[in-house]
Structure 1
């Protein structure tokens, strides 16, 4: 096998993955460009076959395996996207595949992995625990283990994304790439620097699982005590030791993003680009606001779009609350006829839309003095929210904005 993570290897991998990948042409984003003061393009790997970039590394890796290896079968561990890539590639190669997934994996990823022909076993709360079980299974049954990120062959396959970016946008200045275990960022950063050392490559990881940041500070991979993030695809406790040297050498910077910013990025993506992007794929979108406004050509890699509907619903709800588009006010008022109409009229006069009412008669022992009315209102944003609250105050009430779910 030729040496990986070289220009020749990237070129070979690029030709190979074209057998199965779909074109994910860059999408220019006037909205995000205006938001961050740079010229922004999106690399929509959420539209890729199997719903994520992972099919690239999995397919390339399996294409390098011999008949005997394929006969023994393939096993891997994954939070979902690598799982689907391996399942698809293994089935195409006629090989049996077994995928170990964390118990917290969204249902859509489990079902789709099975749909591509893999046997799925749930084990462990996070990827690292699933990986330990997969390694034990590989040794016990003589199967070939395909690591989702700590493998130069897999990383070379993932790096084909960067080759496509520079072919389409030769003058790209900056590439933002999500970081979990480091396979994608390793491939993208290594190719970019080999092609043009002036391209700035920035890794983006969730604040609740900053495994790369910890490794860079320590000088080598270290295991985090835990991960707590809605970006499940990048909730990795330790970056790969085989890819880490490439990350040390080729990444220019690392940005960490809190979950709250991912929630807002989801709304922005749906409303402005009509695309569903999973939380890990939104890391690079959220990171755009962390860049200096320098009018640089920036490509944000959207790594995947496999998101279950329940998670999507929760993210939308919390995003609307964060944006002031949905809010709840608590109003104390006397329990007598006409008071509810007075509240509703004040809201209606400001074009607020009432979507939920809760009437609590037992907030006080004296109902004649005060009962509580909680009103959940739909607004256009923070300014409109403020106008509605002020209208209630002018009507003689003392509204208190409370944080609440729908």
Structure 2
């Protein structure tokens, strides 16, 4: 199967001039010590529509004939590809119809409609929306714009790789969030053509990782069950073209846990002041979960920033818990006036902040004359958690963490 050439990606770059942003490259000093050298973040979360998807969508739709554009375009997406197709179609004068899963994030749904597209909610997962979009194309003659498995789409996404080489000429490792494989395949095509020694690493959510299984089998294999907060990379089966690119050009595919994804979102927000969705933060999650495994200088691609504020709130709480910033404890104390005040005074002296508290006299674990106090505490990190726990125990409290 013929791979996308760097010449094709260069033509896509010329086409996209004035359409997409040359996104910034952030120097992330907080990751230097664990990895022994410079780490940079390629901020595609700051791209138009909030992700890299506009690059491939515009390249693909621009390549259609006037007659094809007149029939309209149709696509399926969890959100980012939908926005890219909607904006690209609007810029090129084509009607766009998008099929999205029924539980697609509301901001992505609203943004897609805001670009003028007609949106249909269909199915619980992306594959069901894809099937509906394909059926719509067959019935109406609209041109189906695949989210990743098309040469024009891969060429458009590959322009990210050209920018990486220009912004960090001595890059040694590039980490890329990977769902279907269009972005990592395009970046690999561009980078390997210019700098074959650069290591390309795809990053997938551990609970939605089709590529490790597919690479082991030597062909695309479907993952039947996917449960991840990173909906943007929750793709059940690679396409034949993207699989060929990953097999030929990508050096490794690693997986990351949900805890690492939430910590990565929190790290981008807290340390870089960047809003990044879980899928977009997968490369940063790899930096957190695999310290010292990647040769610097490293570029981690932040592939998208379209996150529902309610989900972001949950992720921040989850990330703070994973990072040891929350401590949950239960204490048994005598049931007499001043017991609760004594616990809270000691917690305050230890520098922990009470987020939530529950005071109960009803528990099978309690003796007569005891009450149970459940505390959720905000701390400064894992070491502070250990100090608080140890000091409460030394103060004579019976404590369960």
1:143 equivalenced with 2:142 (yes/no): yes
Which residue is equivalent to 1:328?
328
Q: How many residues align?
A: 399
- CA distance in 1 between counterparts of 2:294 and 2:223 reads 34
1:349, distance to aligned residue in structure 2 (A): 1.5
- CA distance in 2 between counterparts of 1:60 and 1:291 reads 36
Structure 2 CA distance for partners of 1:281 and 1:232, relative to 1, 3 Å: same
- CA distance in 1 between counterparts of 2:139 and 2:272 reads 47
Alignment partner of 1:277: what SS? coil
Alignment partner of 1:117: what SS? coil
Contact 1:37 1:293 in 2 (8 A): no
Which residue is equivalent to 1:207?
206
Matches within 5 A, 1:6-405: 6-289=5-288, 290=290, 292=292, 296-363=296-363, 368-401=368-401
- CA distance in 2 between counterparts of 1:60 and 1:366 reads 67
1:294, distance to aligned residue in structure 2 (A): 6.5
Structure 2 CA distance for partners of 1:366 and 1:147, relative to 1, 3 Å: closer
Alignment partner of 1:243: what SS? helix
Which residue is equivalent to 1:404?
none
- CA distance in 1 between counterparts of 2:40 and 2:307 reads 22
Q: Could you tell which deviates more after superposition, 266-275 or 368-377?
A: 368-377
Contact 1:126 1:236 in 2 (8 A): no
Deviations 1:168-189 (A, max 9, x none): 2222111111110111111111
Gap regions ≥5 residues in structure 1:
402-406
Structure 2 CA distance for partners of 1:263 and 1:163, relative to 1, 3 Å: same
Contact 1:364 1:370 in 2 (8 A): no
1:33, distance to aligned residue in structure 2 (A): 1.6
Contact 2:331 2:374 in 1 (8 A): yes
Tell me the TM-score normalised to structure 1 length.
Answer: 0.95
Deviations 1:337-377 (A, max 9, x none): 11112111211111122222211122259875211111221
- CA distance in 2 between counterparts of 1:262 and 1:90 reads 32
Deviations 1:291-319 (A, max 9, x none): 53575211101000000011101111111
Contact 1:327 1:377 in 2 (8 A): yes
- CA distance in 2 between counterparts of 1:295 and 1:235 reads 27
- CA distance in 2 between counterparts of 1:53 and 1:338 reads 58
Deviations 1:267-296 (A, max 9, x none): 111111000111111111111242535752
Contact 2:35 2:296 in 1 (8 A): no
* Root mean square deviation of aligned Cα: 1.6
Q: Could you tell which deviates more after superposition, 321-330 or 127-136?
A: 321-330
Contact 2:36 2:292 in 1 (8 A): yes
Alignment partner of 2:155: what SS? helix
